[in-house]
Structure 1
Amino acid sequence: MISITNEHIVASFSAKGAELQSIKGTHSETEFLWSGDAQFWGKFSPVLFPIIGALKDETYIFEGKSYKLPRHGFARDMEFNFEEINEHEILFTLTHNEETLKVYPFEFRLNLRYKIHGSSLCCTYEVYNPAEKDLLFSVGGHPAFAAPLNKQGDYTDYYLQFNKDEEITYHHILDNLISEKTSSIKLDKGKLYLKHEMFYEDALVFKNLKSDSISLLNDKNYNGLDFNFKDFPYYGIWAAKDADFVCLEPWCGIADGTHHNQNLLEKEGINVLASNGTWERTWQVTCF
């Protein structure tokens, strides 16, 4: 495990997938991330790249050729190089290689930059295109936060506080793809209380959230977190069946729709980065 720390929090990572695996209070030792219990879901906060969610038939077409990629892409299962910038910041880097080019015919450099300040952790995705042709990609986060925190209280004591929405409309997932079926939930002063059954059919997928901050709070104590995101056009909220966590997932990209033609250039949410171009997005979690 690789760690960065200050007087408020300690954040720890694995080079595999550049995955954040722990955020603890320096003094309280409150763990804010999910435990990674493989009985339910053995990950903590995987990076989603170069796709998000599933492809139709796990296949996409680019320049007349078919390629296969697993759900959420390959970056989460690859070893990143890393560099400790200082005790508060670390940089992970993944670049194309012979194996990635077989399934994803693009040259790329993906950086994950983690930085702590006060009781906040920032995660920045930096994408660079070293090639002469355009780079097509999606990227996003999948951090799982413990609920309840410190094993105090029950799952249903916890709620998500949306900062700008009074009603949320989500897309249903059908066979891992985004369906046209939607459902709406009226919020109580922006609050959505957690229930395990809420995720029995899979994630809630949003295309039109007004909120750019969602807080995980509870009715029993003051522990919680604020999750801030900006310029992520899609969002997912998910938990494994009956597991005590909730994933808050900001996405620049989305799974294929049920009627998608599999053409990568026509994929909803795909980002197109020109030669020698750079692209970045940041989310931030503040713990208390």
Structure 2
Amino acid sequence: MSEQALLNLENADFKVTISTLGAELQSIYNKRYDFDYLWDDAGRGYWSRHAPLLFPFIGRSNQDSYLLNGQTYSMTQHGFIRDQIFTVSEIDVEHAILKFTATAETRTKYPFDFDFVVRYSLTKTGLVTTFEVTNNSTAPMPFALGSHPGFNVVGDLSDYMLTVESATEPVRLKQFGIKPTPFRDGQIKPLTASIGARIPLNHKLLDDGLIILANTDLTSIKLDSSSTTRSVKLSLTDFPYVAIWSPENKKAPFVCVEPFAGLPDEYGQPGDMFDKLGNTILDSGDNKEFKYTLTLA
């Protein structure tokens, strides 16, 4: 296995650092404000990651396993892609392309041949992330894909708010029932903490575990604060779900806003991957692209 390396992208406004381990963003630094949008634990003991990628599973699997065509396979939380070393296919000042191809080891957990490509492109207003998944197997391939960025909170989380844009008006936000954390309980219920298209944030709201919005027609979600002019907006067109998380009962100074194309397991017994709600099923030889844009103010 190749060793981990760090890549840097830079333009007049931002500097971005990416690790080849998991193709994970490490930093998104705004030069004008001398501010890093991404969380860095720096030994504080809250959460050691920055923005891991989730594939081919999101969340934990029942009994850390799943079924595929009647056979049981093991699967760790959030899948395995975040722990793989990617090769750098292309890099210049403002963009990078990283690639991971299935190995004999990954096929013991997930019996498919695939390519997983991540493209990062800096713009004047932020960062565009594009994923491309290719099924090189002879059979259809089910998977979930997610991004799990943690954004720094300056001051108190209660100063912050999330605001969604939706293709449907008026916005009535719903959430998947989560019980026991981090599994779904099979229910969908109103998000009573929301006020129309807005979700006022606080630690108490997130101390019971993650919130996954069940609205599939959201087009963007924006994180901003009454105590700063800085904000982060994520486009959601290719991601039908979005999760909100901060470490439970820790009052951590960051919040994760996570585009999901897929969902955690419903609590119970290991289920068949082809039947799992939210999964993409990619035919043999096909590929699919997922893209989201971070607009950073």
TM-score, with structure 1 as normaliser = 0.93
What does residue range 57-206 of structure 1 map to in structure 2 within 5 Å?
Answer: 57-148=63-154, 153-164=155-166, 166-175=171-180, 176-181=182-187, 182-185=189-192, 187-188=194-195, 190-206=197-213
Q: Quote how far apart the aligned CAs of 1:189 are.
A: 5.3
Alpha-carbon deviations, 1:89-139, whole Å to 9, x = none? 101111111110111101100011111111210111100111222222111
Amino acid paired to 1:161: T
TM-score, with structure 2 as normaliser = 0.90
Aligned residue number for residue 247 of structure 2: 240
CA distance in 2 between counterparts of 1:105 and 1:189 reads 44
2:65 touches 2:270 (CA, 8 Å); kept in 1? no
For structure 2, the residue ranges without an aligned partner over 5 or more in a row are 1-5
Q: Quote how far apart the aligned CAs of 1:258 are.
A: 2.2
1:168 touches 1:209 (CA, 8 Å); kept in 2? no
SS in 2 for 1:185: coil
Q: Quote how far apart the aligned CAs of 1:259 are.
A: 4.8
1:51 counterpart = 2:60:
no
CA distance in 2 between counterparts of 1:205 and 1:189 reads 16
For structure 1, the residue ranges without an aligned partner over 5 or more in a row are none
SS in 2 for 1:57: helix
SS in 2 for 1:265: helix
Aligned residue number for residue 224 of structure 1: 231
- More displaced stretch, 2-11 vs 130-139: 130-139
1:3 touches 1:10 (CA, 8 Å); kept in 2? yes
Aligned residue number for residue 3 of structure 1: 8
Amino acid paired to 2:219: D
SS in 2 for 1:212: strand
1:126 touches 1:279 (CA, 8 Å); kept in 2? yes
Work out which of the residue numbers 28, 31, 35 in structure 2 matches 1:30: 35
2:218 touches 2:240 (CA, 8 Å); kept in 1? no
Amino acid paired to 2:160: Y
Q: Quote how far apart the aligned CAs of 1:44 are.
A: 0.6
CA distance in 1 between counterparts of 2:132 and 2:41 reads 26
Q: Quote how far apart the aligned CAs of 1:205 are.
A: 1.2
2:174 touches 2:190 (CA, 8 Å); kept in 1? yes
CA distance in 2 between counterparts of 1:95 and 1:250 reads 23
Evaluate the alpha carbon distance shift between residue 261 and residue 25 of structure 1 in structure 2; reply closer, same or farther with a 3 A threshold. closer
1:107 touches 1:135 (CA, 8 Å); kept in 2? no
- More displaced stretch, 165-174 vs 241-250: 165-174
What does residue range 256-271 of structure 1 map to in structure 2 within 5 Å?
Answer: 256-259=265-268, 262-271=271-280
